[in-house]
Amino acid sequence: MPRAYLSRFAPLALAVLLSAWAVSAQQLISFSKNAVLKADVANSRVEKHLKDVELPKFEQDIDLYKITYTSTDENGKPVNLTGLAAFPKSGAPKGLVIYMHGTQWNRKESPSRFKAKDDTVSFYLELASFATGGYAMVMPDYIGLGDNKRIHPYPLNLVNAQSGVDIIDAARALTKRMAYDLGDDLFVTGYSEGGGTAMGLTKFLEEKNDPKYHVTRSAPMSGPYDLTGATRDYLLAEASGKDLIARAFLLGYCVKYFKDKYGVNADDYFSKPVAIAVNTAFKDGRSEADILVRLAVVSTISGSTKSVEKLLTQRFIEALETLDTSDPVIRELSKNNVFDWSPRTEMLLQNLSTDKIVAPENTHNAVRAMRERGVGSDRLRHIEVVDESLDHGSVAKITIVNARRFFDGGFAAVPDAK
């Protein structure tokens, strides 16, 4: 065969081999570089927006990649998902952190879209907490966010945890291809909705009983672990004003998914004005703030912010009270409880004592259930942040830093944990 022909054939052969190797790696489909997050830029933004947090300094640049990988949806069918990978330039000898993000509606704000171009705090807290300390990070977008065009299955802990399981192989395949120094250890964390999916992810990985998925430490934070207990009670608890508007957003997001998936009607769950607002407010491309304003205006004008009885239908209130699983929302929520099991992994749970978005009882119930199953302080500890100046959003700066300390040094590094 002529040498010239071979030279033309070689790139094609290499591409075929790489393609075959990617398939054999199962999860990784493609990757592209989003940006290089320069250390000096990162430090200046952290100093500007997060100066009240004792965050580690960026000592090196961080390569940011969008990765596309295969996973499975709630029906076990193949689905392509996207996520963000953050690799410190000099390597990540401490291993890989899987970070499960909190509630998002606008796909433009998904982790995989982060290119560190604008002067915002998006993901800087997480990057400063983990990517500065010898860890690589991956953040899955979840079904229905990033490039996936479906409605996000909110707030189904186990359904969305699968995106975290499958991004591990994708990240390892990418680092192998790049000859990147990725340590063997695996860490799991996440906040708010991501706290619930992080708990589900830890459970899934333990059930694999496979050394390559062994979790070194896990730190779910402020998650809705008990969807049909603590979260159900939160939805039924008397409230008014902005607290009810927050519930309208969270439950509206949930109903939007169930309308798409199961054909439920919003007016079976909300009073008529709020049902109309839910149907019209949750549009692709809108920000969470925009949706909240639309819900707030309608709810306030209609009087739906005065009480739970004026926000929710009597039918749904009774279904919540009795946990009627003939209702698809309650049925699927009950399948996605993740609070009552026995982790073998060292686990740190954290919450804010006065949290009005994710009820603290979610964490309390998880700690109680696990203790009753015989999980001792050698495997599980808890920090409850008591500070009335903080809310569900602002307490994250404390809990995420605690998670980093825990990953670095175990329970000895977080002496407040009990």
**pLDDT over 50 (residue 3):** no
Look up the pTM and report it: 0.92
What is the Cα–Cα distance from 185 to 34, expressed in whole angstroms? Answer: 25
pLDDT band for position 26 (50/70/90)?
Answer: low
- Token pair of 22 as six digits: 């990617």
pLDDT digits (tens, 9 = 90+) for 191-250: 999 999 999 999 999 999 999 999 999 999 999 999 999 999 999 998 888 889 999 999
| Portions of the chain given CATH number 3.40.50.1820 | 20-226+339-413
pLDDT digits (tens, 9 = 90+) for 94-136: 999 999 999 999 999 999 999 998 777 789 999 999 999 899 9
CA angle 354, 360, 364 (to 5 degrees): 135
What is the Cα–Cα distance from 215 to 207, expressed in whole angstroms? Answer: 11
**pLDDT over 60 (residue 405):** yes
| Residue 352: strand pairing partners | 385
Q: How many Cβ atoms from other residues are within 10 Å of residue 366's Cβ? A: 28
Asked if 158 contacts 185 with a C-beta cutoff of 8 angstroms, the reply is no
Q: Going by C-beta distance under 8 Å and a sequence separation of 6 or more, which residues neighbour residue 122? A: 109, 114
Q: Mean of the per-residue pLDDT values for the chain?
A: 92
- Token pair of 237 as six digits: 């608890």
20-226+339-413: what CATH class?
A: alpha beta
Q: What radius of gyration, in Å, describes the C-alpha atoms of the chain?
A: 22
- Token pair of 235 as six digits: 């939805």
Q: Would you state the torsion angle of the CA atoms of residues 388, 389, 392, 397, taken in this order, to the nearest 10 degrees?
A: -120
pLDDT digits (tens, 9 = 90+) for 286-339: 999 999 999 999 999 999 889 999 999 999 999 999 999 999 999 999 999 999
Burial of 326 (0-12, 13-18, 19+ CB in 10 A): exposed
Does residue 137 come out as left (phi exceeding 0), alpha (psi in the -120 to 50 range) or beta? Answer: beta
Alpha helices in 241-387 (DSSP H): 242-262, 272-281, 288-302, 308-311, 314-322, 328-335, 361-372
Give the amino acid at 383: I
**pLDDT over 60 (residue 2):** no
Q: Going by C-beta distance under 8 Å and a sequence separation of 6 or more, which residues neighbour residue 118? A: none
